[in-house]
Amino acid sequence: MGETFTKNELTNANEVMKLNMTDNLEGDDLIFYHSLRAELDTLKKSPKLQTIHHILDHSKSLR
């Protein structure tokens, strides 16, 4: 039986982390990315481990 999907380097999370995604950007796109980069960094969240466990416990209780 054949595969029903195509694998590429962007479907593998580990490969995506290795790539520098800004290498593929052209002039205007690169300027736009750098203007938004600071704002994008503020959107990153680092929840406490306890919060993650509470969410997972709640999710398991709904099964």
Whole-structure pTM value: 0.35
d(CA 31, CA 26): 9
Q: Which has more pLDDT, 24 or 21?
A: 24
- Write the pLDDT tens digit of every residue in 23-43: 677 787 778 888 888 787 788
> 3-class DSSP state for residue 26?
coil
Predicted local confidence at residue 54, as pLDDT:
94
What's the residue count for the chain?
63
pLDDT at site 56: 94
| pLDDT score of 22 | 61
Q: How does residue 49 score in pLDDT terms, banded at 50, 70 and 90?
A: very high
